[in-house]
């Protein structure tokens, strides 16, 4: 059974137009509290959290822990909330976003660029705000002993002190030889504030560990495409002993102090200006990335990459350490004064001390950087919200990096009653490419290049109505940096651009509904920046309260599709994807069927994935050389406990 690229292309375009012209039918499932919200829900089972730092708490960026069934069956970090990633043959391995999203951060790169979905970093750590003790258990079981486990525990030890633990594990042996993931992260959090909230402190300890077996992909595609070998474990693979290990661990302490005492002025009138607050934080982060491989006589994977140091054993180990001190002044304090409701300003600086050692280097590289930053937020005419921020790097490898961003959210009506919002975002980034593009030394890859700064300008215009988002993003790229088909860093000789049109959201139709995300993207740099013209997910579902309202059922079909294109290939030794021009993947419809149910605080789902794979249409690839998982069945449960 094959599917015409043209027919599927027009199917997704039809659904995109259908959603774009019927926003009034949408239903709100928003998880983020409005900027104007001043009170949390009264339900004692409601749980909220803020992420990263106390700045988020002061700005009111509290997020509600989702208890709905809408995305519950999308259990994988690279699938949830309709994410669309290319990966390898099973869950937990290297991946990248096929919806083009260039790195726009400034400063030294301390984050994994292919394993990030399965790792947790300081800005993702959750600090819970709750009324009762909260525990959540999540477990998913799939074919061939695939398992994932999530555990969350948060408890107020006293009125002012909260303690929490989050744990996430993924273990997925593949059908194919030497392909397996064993990933985990855990963090411990604590939060304390004085009775009058003048002082608060948070802290965390965070540990990530990713261990993956790397087989380099299958070497005889026809054995899979024609289903000549049903036992996937005997299909030849490129690497029999490849292995990647990534560790990232550290701790963080953040605190704030409000400059004035809480309460009224002496004449019992509210303060017009609260004086703001001062925040200080300290972060220690240590990374290690290790690739190992033992040469075997029957593999030619690295034949075009000359061995530099060891002809038999490869042990490439990268070490990084960053110590960050951060000082910040913010106009927000208790947020009781009138000015705080319409205006916010902040400024501060990060001071980073960085140490790094590359494989086969005996000397560490030290780097010190000062990063001043600042921003403002304004509420205008009761229906417009304006935000602007800027940061610049002084000194070190990233010296001269600059990021400026501004956004406007305009309600079409009042905040309480409107026909949607218009959102605009402008971003300018001038940044040094990540360190691994400039210099690297491993057993087979060595370069030391002088690269120009990348220049990124992007503009987004978007219409929002409840859960519906539809809009366009235009990006202009200068000195775009990538790995070419020789697996070497290159910078584009000429500026280029990428245009994206997108739509996402949920439309309820009584007992039925459609949840969709579709992205259409074109580029002027198609010679080396390969993107699918159209990529999308569509969930057609039925939902109803059953058993006299005791249980909520949602069942449906999820379709995933992207047009055929030269997807990037994967190089295990560099933990990087690179441009290739030999194999196309895509133009395959992934069909999943699922049934989810919620009974009070207990949820579970049953799901059949890639059902068309049962019919012998073996052209489903996650990346060149890496077939996606065959059809299979999955069970997932989630149980929230409040005691």
Residue 308: per-residue pLDDT: 81
Name the band, by pLDDT with cuts 50, 70 and 90, for residue 480: very high
User: Rounded mean pLDDT of the chain?
Assistant: 89
pLDDT beyond 90 at 8 = no
pLDDT tens per residue across span 119-136: 999 999 999 988 889 999
pLDDT tens per residue across span 232-284: 999 999 999 999 999 999 999 999 999 988 875 555 555 666 689 999 999 99
pLDDT beyond 50 at 5 = no
Percent of the chain with pLDDT over 90: 75
Residue 476: per-residue pLDDT: 98
Q: Which two tokens stand for residue 562?
A: 């992207």
Name the band, by pLDDT with cuts 50, 70 and 90, for residue 337: confident
Which of the two residues, 178 and 363, has the higher pLDDT score? Answer: 178
pLDDT beyond 90 at 340 = no
Name the band, by pLDDT with cuts 50, 70 and 90, for residue 1: very low
Read off φ and ψ for residue 54, nearest 5 degrees.
Answer: -70, -15
Kindly report each contact of residues 482-485 with a partner whose C-beta sits within 8 Å and lies 24 or more positions away, as own/partner: 482/528, 482/529, 482/578, 482/579, 483/571, 483/574, 483/576, 483/577, 483/578, 483/579, 484/528, 484/578, 484/579, 485/578, 485/579, 485/580, 485/581
Task: Enter the DSSP assignment of 196.
Answer: T
Residues with Cβ within 8 Å of residue 312, at least 6 apart in sequence: 294, 295
- The sign of the torsion formed by the CA atoms of 610, 615, 618, 619 equals negative
pLDDT tens per residue across span 203-213: 999 999 999 99
pLDDT tens per residue across span 33-63: 334 333 454 566 678 999 989 988 888 888 9
pLDDT tens per residue across span 368-381: 999 999 999 999 88
Name the band, by pLDDT with cuts 50, 70 and 90, for residue 295: confident
Residue 571: per-residue pLDDT: 96
Spell out the SS3 assignment of 234-284: HCCECCCCEEEEEEEEEEEEEEEEECCCCCCCCCCCCCCCCCCEEEEEEEE
Residue 271: per-residue pLDDT: 62
Provide the residue ranges of all domains of the chain, joining segments of one domain with +.
5-641
CATH of 5-641, one of 3.30.1280.10, 1.50.40.10, 2.40.170.20, 3.90.1150.10: 2.40.170.20
Residue 39: per-residue pLDDT: 45
């Amino acid at each position: 059974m094959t599917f015409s690229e043209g027919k599927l292309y027009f199917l997704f375009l039809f659904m995109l137009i259908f959603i774009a012209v019927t926003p009034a039918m949408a239903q709100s499932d928003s998880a983020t509290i409005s900027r104007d919200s001043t009170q949390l829900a009264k339900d004692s089972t409601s749980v909220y959290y803020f992420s990263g730092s106390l700045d988020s708490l002061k700005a009111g960026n509290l997020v509600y822990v989702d208890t709905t069934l809408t995305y519950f069956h999308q259990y994988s970090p690279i699938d949830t909330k309709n994410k669309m990633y290319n990966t390898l043959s099973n869950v937990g391995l290297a991946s990248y976003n096929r919806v083009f999203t260039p790195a726009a951060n400034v400063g030294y790169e301390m984050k994994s660029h292919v394993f990030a979905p399965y790792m947790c970093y300081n800005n993702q750590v959750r600090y819970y705000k709750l009324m009762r003790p909260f525990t959540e258990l999540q477990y998913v079981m799939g074919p061939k002993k695939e398992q994932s486990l999530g555990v969350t525990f948060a408890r107020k030890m006293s009125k002012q002190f909260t303690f929490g633990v989050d744990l996430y594990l993924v273990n997925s042996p593949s059908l194919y030889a030497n392909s397996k993931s064993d990933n985990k992260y855990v963090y411990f959090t604590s939060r304390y504030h004085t009775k009058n909230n003048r002082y608060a402190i948070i802290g965390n300890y965070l540990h990530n560990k990713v261990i993956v077996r790397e087989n380099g992909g299958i070497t005889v595609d026809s054995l899979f495409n024609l289903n000549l070998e049903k036992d996937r474990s005997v299909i030849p693979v490129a690497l029999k002993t490849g292995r990647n290990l990534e560790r990232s661990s550290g701790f963080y302490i953040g605190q704030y102090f409000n400059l004035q005492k809480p309460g009224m002025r002496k004449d019992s009138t509210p303060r017009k200006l609260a004086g703001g607050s001062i925040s200080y934080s300290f972060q220690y982060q240590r990374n290690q990335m290790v690739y190992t491989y033992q040469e075997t006589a029957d593999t030619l994977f690295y034949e075009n990459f000359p061995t530099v140091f060891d002809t038999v054993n490869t042990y490439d180990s990268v070490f990084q350490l960053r110590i960050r001190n951060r000082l910040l002044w913010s106009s927000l304090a208790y947020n009781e004064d009138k000015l705080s409701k319409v205006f916010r300003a902040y400024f501060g600086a990060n001071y980073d001390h960085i140490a790094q050692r590359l494989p086969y280097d005996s000397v560490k590289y030290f780097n010190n950087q000062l990063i001043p930053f600042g921003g403002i937020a304004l509420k205008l005419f009761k229906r417009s919200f304006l935000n602007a921020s800027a940061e610049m790097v002084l000194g070190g490898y990233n010296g001269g990096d600059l990021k400026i961003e501004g956004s406007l959210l305009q309600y079409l009506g009042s905040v309480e009653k409107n026909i949607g919002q218009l959102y605009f975002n402008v971003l300018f980034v001038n940044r040094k490419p990540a360190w691994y593009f400039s210099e690297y030394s491993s057993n087979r890859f060595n370069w030391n290049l002088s690269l120009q700064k990348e220049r990124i300008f992007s503009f987004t215009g978007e219409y929002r109505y409840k859960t519906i988002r539809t809009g366009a993003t235009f990006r202009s790229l200068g000195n775009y940096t990538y790995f070419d088909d020789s697996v070497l860093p290159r910078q584009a000789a000429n500026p280029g651009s990428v245009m994206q049109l997108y739509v996402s959201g949920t439309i309820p139709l009584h007992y039925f509904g459609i949840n969709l995300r579709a992205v259409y993207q074109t580029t002027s740099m198609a010679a080396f920046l390969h993107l699918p013209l159209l990529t999308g997910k569509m969930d057609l579902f039925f939902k109803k309260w059953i058993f006299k309202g005791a249980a909520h059922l949602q069942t449906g079909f999820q379709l995933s599709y992207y047009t055929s294109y030269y997807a990037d290939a994967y190089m295990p030794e560099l933990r990087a994807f690179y441009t290739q021009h030999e194999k196309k993947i895509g133009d395959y419809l992934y069909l999943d069927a699922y049934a989810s149910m919620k009974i009070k605080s207990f949820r579970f789902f049953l799901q059949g994935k890639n059902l068309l794979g049962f019919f012998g249409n073996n052209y489903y690839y996650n990346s060149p050389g890496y077939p996606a998982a065959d059809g299979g069945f999955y069970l997932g449960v989630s149980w929230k406990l409040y005691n």
